Structure 1
Amino acid sequence: MSEKLSRRRVLHGMMGGAAVSVGLPYFDCLFNTNGTALAQGGAFPVRFGTWFWGCGMNPARWVPTIEGPGYDLPPELAQGLTGFESKVSVLSGFDTPVNGENNHAHYSPPTVTLTGVAPTSPQHIPRSTFDVEIANVIGTSTRFRVLDITADGQGQAWSAQSAGTRSPAESSPIALYQRVFGNGFQVGGMGPFVPDPAVMVRRSVLSSVMDQTRELENELGSYDRQRLDQYFTSIRQLENQLNVLLSEPPDLPACFLPDAPKSENLTQEIAHVVATHNLMAELLTIALACDQTRVFNMNLWRVFTDVRFPGEEVGYHQLTHDEFLDQSLGYQPRSQRFLVEAMNCWSHLLAQLDSIEEGDGTLLDHMAVFAHSCTEFPKDHGTKNIPLLVAGSAGGRLASGRHIRGNGSPTSRAALTLQQAFDVPVSTWGDRDIATSSPITELLASG
């Protein structure tokens, strides 16, 4: 690779919002002869993400009638998948058993899907979520093991590092920019690398604290040792982040420093929530292209969302309860507007990920994004036929562009499949009726 092409060139005026500068695509001189890895060595990293939207869908307008490749696109599904049919698999007919517990409306399905355990209350977080297990495999060499983001101003993710505590989520695009692209962010290949002396001091102090804290283990009871273990986990993540800052950043041709957002509107008005989501999706895409993280969780809006259209007093969640079903249409027309916006946001995220070229594919091709919701038809609070989507092929590990029927099997099969695709050493996932040792073979590249 020539010195001239090893430096960053950018195109301006393309990615809207904060990301107004776009890196050039990967040129042939930057790859091996097969176009599957960087010429400097190493395959493209695989990434994983989850994307959540609250309040489900209308099954008659969502579930395809054709199974396998070449599935049809009912109206609501078409809103989010048109143009990406070959890169997104639709999973229908997968249920979330509650193992004899109450169905805690909107909370039980995502908790079952992500943990494999039925919650005993809306506040119950029974164990770590499966994205954390994947992050423990692929997310240990980046500045951020996981990025948790929410677009409706609510600062909590579905992801949980351990039982009892959900991960905090970044709800401000400006704060997300400062966290990822502020102090500590470096673009590789821009000149000699000089470690920051302040980071070296922090790393030394942290090592000393870790040594002292380990001495406490034998003096604590079992509950306090569990809390100490959670503390160790956060310290190890900080330690890893400091190690990354002390290492020369990789020379990634698609990586560049985006312009900072100049403003944000963090309200519950639908246009503001959509704009926040799309801006954060653009920043997230650059963060992934720069290998700042390989795992993310993104919430469009929460389960009891109050997002609303201008001039309307009732938010989306309450509207799904108040609005009568239009028998001539077969759905709730006012509520359906929000699902259209949700699928437009999903499509925007896919477009951003697919716009970054990596070898003979794109960033989207080298990752998997698992989309899920909290119910089927929101007025019924059901636990069956939970809408699930899987975008991307994770670098050839997954088959894409298929409609796969679950026929009443648990959503834990999707969690098991994705973990195995990312080399998590797990053969069974879930508890009691949710437990499964049967991955969705049609979703695997070898299936």
Structure 2
Amino acid sequence: MKNIYFPRRKSLSRRTFLRTAGASLALPYLDAMRPAFSAESEAPQPKRMVGINVDLGFMPERFFPKQSGRDYELSPYLQPLSDLRDDFTVFSGLHHPGTGGLHAADVCFLTGATHPTRPGFKNTLSLDQRIAQEVGHLTRFPSLSLRVGPGSKSLSFTADGVPLPAIERPSDVYRLLFMNGSAEQVQNQMQRLRDGRSLMDQFGDEIQSLQSRVGNADSQRLQQYFDSLRELEKRLEIQEAWSQRSKPKVDAPMPQDNTSPGGLIPKTQMLFDMARLALETDSTRAITVLINEDFNPTVDLPGVNAPHHALTHQSSQQESADELARIETAQMNCLAKLLRELRDVKENGVSLLDQTMVLQGSNIGNAARHDGLNLPVLLAGGGFKHGSHLSFDKKNNEPLANVFVSMLQNMGIEDESFSSSAGTMRGLET
């Protein structure tokens, strides 16, 4: 049974003022002014997002249903989610224009940036970071970037195309989310934050002075840079405030990291568990998980004898297809477990799954031939009207970014476009 946390704070008076000698300042209505159990003016439930990219994809013939609409028959890979049928929508006929079906496109999954293999490629803002721009200040961590597998790749990118480091070890995620430092460590962290903000102020003045001595193009570049510095200053201020507050306590023990090169499934499951705990404690509202198997291990599963990546290129052979199916079914079981556990957590009487959009897909439509069309994509939760297979033209695909716009608007962010999108996704309604 999961712990139930009850509010213990006293509410502020609606007539609270900030007072100083000879003056006073009335405050706007704050959450802290709401009585702990009052039904009056309840705050809206927070919306959240998880974006998962499985970089080797799924065998199309086992992932996609054969029928469209609500009365489709579950495909083999959707069978593990049979009890969640009304909680997810499966899509076919989606792509990211211009990204291709190469493994290098995994970093474009949540950005839609084009031509990732060209020299000088620069990524663009990722979906989770657009969400973090709007709601990241409401939680201790504006976003959380995770990765299954070694390397340095991430799904999260700033507006300048800079990747945010992804955490690989579940134990490191646990420490970040739930372990408080000593008083001295907290004080040192606060001082580092203050020093960082002081440096930003110092360089900001120099940049402003420099802007008056350069041409228009350079001035615009400097302004973008200066805007980034100001955004960093805001984040530093927020981090300093959070550093003085204790982290949430959870019953779950620190996970024991699986260090086996073939530990795809336990590693995925443990990171999914950490993601769930982060959402459950409202530590963040935007999470990404890159499942990176491009380094080609042999997955630790009964009946799997060949390296994972190699199996995707041999899936036309029955024996290889059967081995690959064991891996991909296990991956779908990991997703099903995450969705069930989110469904079982209640937040003010509403399931956490209803408040959390979970997007799982891949940058590859068919790994056997590096096809970037017809990406396997599934969206669960978030309060959408689910239960359908939304099928689009398999040759002239719809932009996957249309789903992103629907997700942004579901978060309360009224963007009309994102990356290659031309609007929201047809048939996906709330």
Q: Do these two structures clear the TM 0.5 threshold for a shared fold by scoring above it?
A: yes
How big is the shift at 1:207? 4.1
Alignment correspondent of 2:174: 177
Residues of 1 paired with 2:201 and 2:5: CA distance? 45
Residues of 2 paired with 1:382 and 1:109: CA distance? 13
How big is the shift at 1:244? 2.8
How big is the shift at 1:84? 1.0
Residues 71 and 256 (structure 1 numbering): CA distance in 2 closer, same or farther, change over 3 Å? farther
**Which one of 413, 421, 425 corresponds to residue 436 of structure 1?**
421
**Which one of 226, 232, 236 corresponds to residue 238 of structure 1?**
236
Equivalent residues in 2 for 1:58-77, closer than 5 Å: 58-77=59-78
Equivalent residues in 2 for 1:339-350, closer than 5 Å: 339-350=328-339
Residues 182 and 224 (structure 1 numbering): CA distance in 2 closer, same or farther, change over 3 Å? farther
CA contact (8 A) 1:87 1:392 kept: yes
Q: Deviations over 1:74-132 (max 9, x none)?
A: 112213x221111111111112322xx8x361334762x52233124178343111221
Alignment correspondent of 1:265: 258
Residues of 2 paired with 1:392 and 1:230: CA distance? 33
**Which one of 10, 15, 24 corresponds to residue 4 of structure 2?**
24
Partner amino acid, structure 2, of 1:359? N
Q: Deviations over 1:198-230 (max 9, x none)?
A: 666555444433322321323375656655654
Alignment correspondent of 2:290: 299
Alignment correspondent of 1:405: 391
Larger radius of gyration: 2
Alignment correspondent of 1:191: none
Partner amino acid, structure 2, of 1:209? L
Residues 262 and 439 (structure 1 numbering): CA distance in 2 closer, same or farther, change over 3 Å? closer
How big is the shift at 1:156? 2.6
CA contact (8 A) 1:127 1:163 kept: yes
Residues of 1 paired with 2:56 and 2:402: CA distance? 22
Q: After the TM superposition, which of the residue ranges 220-229 and 255-264 deviates more from structure 2? A: 220-229
Residues 1:319 and 2:317 are matched in the alignment: no
Q: Deviations over 1:311-337 (max 9, x none)?
A: 9774211222245433xx9x8222222
**Which one of 189, 201, 218 corresponds to residue 211 of structure 1?**
201
Q: Deviations over 1:163-206 (max 9, x none)?
A: 44322111011111111111269xxxxxxxxxx76666555444
Residues of 1 paired with 2:228 and 2:288: CA distance? 20
Which stretches in structure 2 are left out of the alignment for 5+ residues?
8-34, 212-217
**Which one of 262, 274, 278 corresponds to residue 269 of structure 2?**
278
Residues of 1 paired with 2:404 and 2:257: CA distance? 34
Residues 1:363 and 2:360 are matched in the alignment: no
CA contact (8 A) 1:86 1:400 kept: yes
Residues of 1 paired with 2:376 and 2:85: CA distance? 16
Equivalent residues in 2 for 1:25-174, closer than 5 Å: 39=37, 41-79=42-80, 81-98=81-98, 103=100, 105-108=102-105, 111=108, 113-121=109-117, 124-174=121-171
Partner amino acid, structure 2, of 1:72? E
How big is the shift at 1:277? 2.0
Residues of 2 paired with 1:230 and 1:184: CA distance? 29
CA contact (8 A) 1:303 1:374 kept: no
CA contact (8 A) 1:91 1:403 kept: yes
Residues 202 and 95 (structure 1 numbering): CA distance in 2 closer, same or farther, change over 3 Å? closer
Secondary structure of 1:178's aligned partner: helix
Residues 274 and 238 (structure 1 numbering): CA distance in 2 closer, same or farther, change over 3 Å? farther
How big is the shift at 1:411? 1.3
Residues 201 and 321 (structure 1 numbering): CA distance in 2 closer, same or farther, change over 3 Å? closer
Residues 315 and 122 (structure 1 numbering): CA distance in 2 closer, same or farther, change over 3 Å? farther
Residues 117 and 289 (structure 1 numbering): CA distance in 2 closer, same or farther, change over 3 Å? same
Equivalent residues in 2 for 1:372-391, closer than 5 Å: 372-391=361-380
Partner amino acid, structure 2, of 1:208? S
CA contact (8 A) 2:178 2:249 kept: no
Residues 199 and 44 (structure 1 numbering): CA distance in 2 closer, same or farther, change over 3 Å? farther
Count residues with an aligned counterpart: 384
Q: After the TM superposition, which of the residue ranges 166-175 and 306-315 deviates more from structure 2? A: 306-315
CA contact (8 A) 1:372 1:389 kept: yes
CA contact (8 A) 1:109 1:383 kept: no
Residues 200 and 174 (structure 1 numbering): CA distance in 2 closer, same or farther, change over 3 Å? closer
Residues 346 and 322 (structure 1 numbering): CA distance in 2 closer, same or farther, change over 3 Å? same
Residues of 2 paired with 1:441 and 1:342: CA distance? 28
How big is the shift at 1:56? 1.7
CA contact (8 A) 2:157 2:164 kept: yes
Residues 108 and 206 (structure 1 numbering): CA distance in 2 closer, same or farther, change over 3 Å? closer
Residues of 2 paired with 1:146 and 1:83: CA distance? 30
CA contact (8 A) 1:110 1:373 kept: no
CA contact (8 A) 2:143 2:286 kept: yes
Q: After the TM superposition, which of the residue ranges 219-228 and 366-375 deviates more from structure 2? A: 219-228
Partner amino acid, structure 2, of 1:178? R
**TM-score, normalised to structure 1's length?**
0.76
Q: After the TM superposition, which of the residue ranges 255-264 and 49-58 deviates more from structure 2? A: 255-264
Residues 258 and 216 (structure 1 numbering): CA distance in 2 closer, same or farther, change over 3 Å? farther
How big is the shift at 1:422? 1.9
Residues 56 and 283 (structure 1 numbering): CA distance in 2 closer, same or farther, change over 3 Å? closer
Residues of 2 paired with 1:420 and 1:303: CA distance? 33
